[in-house]
Structure 1
Amino acid sequence: MIDGHKVACWTPFGRERTVSLLVKYMERDVKRGLIDEYILYMNTDDNQVSDREYGYRLAEQHDWIRIIERPERYPGPKQRSTGYFYRSAVDPDTIFVRLDDDIVYLHENAIENLVRARIEMPAPAAVFPIIFNNAICSYFLQACQKVPMEWGEVKPYCMDPNGWASGPFAVKLHELLLSHIEAGTVEDLYLHHDFQLAPGTQFSVSCFASLGSMYAGLPDGPGVLVPDEEESWHTIHRPLATSVPNVVRADSVVSHFSFFTQHPFLNQTDLLDRYRALADKAVA
């Protein structure tokens, strides 16, 4: 718990390859008393037998891990199913922290600082950390002179050609963050201040904190998102409906490994191996 609030982290689960890193940080922060439970929302394809077995094996090994299966029927591609998770996120005393299954690093202060920001600011739909390899976060990092413009300027658009689509740019970002992690200077990458996102600004929801009380009080039913696509609801619909901007917190750092546009470049590097070594140290 943090300041009397239960903290539940959750992941739309799909890949053992990267969740095997993320779960180390969950274990670290459970042991530190920051996280109460970790929920794996199963969102796999039929042929992902070994991935599913891995997820269920984790739940058997750790009493703080819980499995939720997606609905048998949902509209469109599997990415649309994640909006149904929020029907299970209606405890008004719980803060939920969403983590993509390829979040591969969380700074030791990331969860605590993000959750405390969420408590301090109850009005936004979502409070985001500084997500390395997120286009709009890269825009803010460049504005604060943390990421060089010489790598390619990033505009405040979630699918910016450099910040979202460029593999070489993502490699440079990861190398920058890893150099700071290895040197123990991640806090040098904190932003100068929190940044507000104008209502209606689409933002990649790789990681954010939200309130169970918000979902419990939705007009169409507890946890029922309308529209049901979670990124649109949290970053476009809800902020426009409430006229409240979402916020990027200045002092919480996580790393998102890859957008599909970047896979061919990142998979040819040793970056994931370097992140894996750091994750192993987190629970050593």
Structure 2
Amino acid sequence: MIDGKKVVAWTPYGRVRTYSILIKYLERDVRRGLIDEVWAFMNTDPVGQEADIAYAHELAERFPWFHLKHRPEGADLGNLPKQRYTGLAYREMTDPNAVYLRLDDDVVYLHEAAIENLVRARLEMPAPTAIFPIIVNNAIVSHFLQLCGKIPTEWGEVKQYCMDPNGWANGPFAVKLHELLLDHIERGAVEDLYLYQDFPIAPGTQFSVSCFASLGSMYADLPHGPGVLVPDEEESFHTIHHPLATGAPNILRGNAVVSHWSFFPQHAFLNGSDLLGRYRDLADKAVAS
């Protein structure tokens, strides 16, 4: 718990390759008393993802704080990609005394201060729909990192747009971002990437939701029912529709750092590098310490 609030870290789960890195940081922070429960919302296909499913079940058997969550009975969004089902997960997140931390299953680094700083920011600022950390490999975050002189503009300028051609689709740019962060981690200098301030994200600005903190009290009081998002697509709800409805900007927190592995246009460049192995080695050291 943090400041008397239960902390639940949850992930739309599907890929053992990267989640096997993330779980080590979550285990570290459970041991430190910062996270109470970890949920894997099973967003997997029964055929073709047998190894991914088996790994999640192994974790549930191994750790008493790790829980599998499933789509509601009878849920049917029609002929849509499975990513659209993740909005149904929020029907589980209606505890008014809980803070929920959403993490993509390819978040591959959590700075040791990230969870505590993000949760405290969430509690200090109840009005925003979402509080985001500094997400390395997120286009809008890269825009603000450039604004503060943390990322060279010589790598390609990034505009304040979630699918910016450099910040979202440029594989070599993503490689440089991860190399920059890994260098800071290995030198013990991650705090040098902190932003000078928190930045408001104007209501209606789409933002890639690889990681954010939200409040159970917000979901409990939704007008269409507890945890029922309208629209049901989680990124649109959290970054466009609900902020516009409330008039409160989302917030980019300047003192919490995480790393998001890859957007699909970047895959070929990142998968051809040694960067994921370096992240895995760091996670092994983090959970062992």
TM-score, length of structure 1 as denominator length:
0.99
Deviations 1:75-132 (A, max 9, x none): 1211110000010000000000000000000000000000000000000000000000
Aligned equivalent of 1:95: 99
Deviations 1:233-284 (A, max 9, x none): 0000000000000000000000000001100100000000000000000111
4+ residue stretches of structure 1 with deviation over 6 A?
none
Give the CA deviation at 1:69: 1.2
Aligned residues: 284
Aligned equivalent of 2:151: 147
8 Å contact from structure 1 (residues 74, 80) kept in 2: no
Distance 2:210 2:45 in 1: 20
Instruction: Mark the runs of 5 or more structure 1 residues left unpaired by the alignment.
Output: none
User: What RMSD over aligned residues (CA atoms) do the two structures have, in Å?
Assistant: 0.6
- What amino acid maps onto 1:74 in structure 2? D
Distance 1:123 1:192 in 2: 22
Instruction: Mark the runs of 5 or more structure 2 residues left unpaired by the alignment.
Output: none
Aligned equivalent of 2:4: 4
Is 1:25 the equivalent of 2:32? no
Is 1:132 the equivalent of 2:136? yes
Distance 2:157 2:241 in 1: 28
Give the CA deviation at 1:45: 1.8
Give 3-state SS (helix, strand or coil) of 1:283's partner: helix
Deviations 1:148-195 (A, max 9, x none): 000000000000000000000000000000000000000000001000
Give the CA deviation at 1:39: 0.1
Deviations 1:37-89 (A, max 9, x none): 00000001231001000001101000010000124533121111000001000
Percent same amino acid at aligned positions? 70
- What amino acid maps onto 2:34 in structure 1? L
Distance 2:83 2:51 in 1: 20
Aligned equivalent of 1:156: 160
Counterparts of 1:1-284 in structure 2, within 5 Å, are 1-46=1-46, 47-71=48-72, 73-75=75-77, 76-284=80-288
Deviations 1:191-232 (A, max 9, x none): 010000000000000000000000000000000000000000
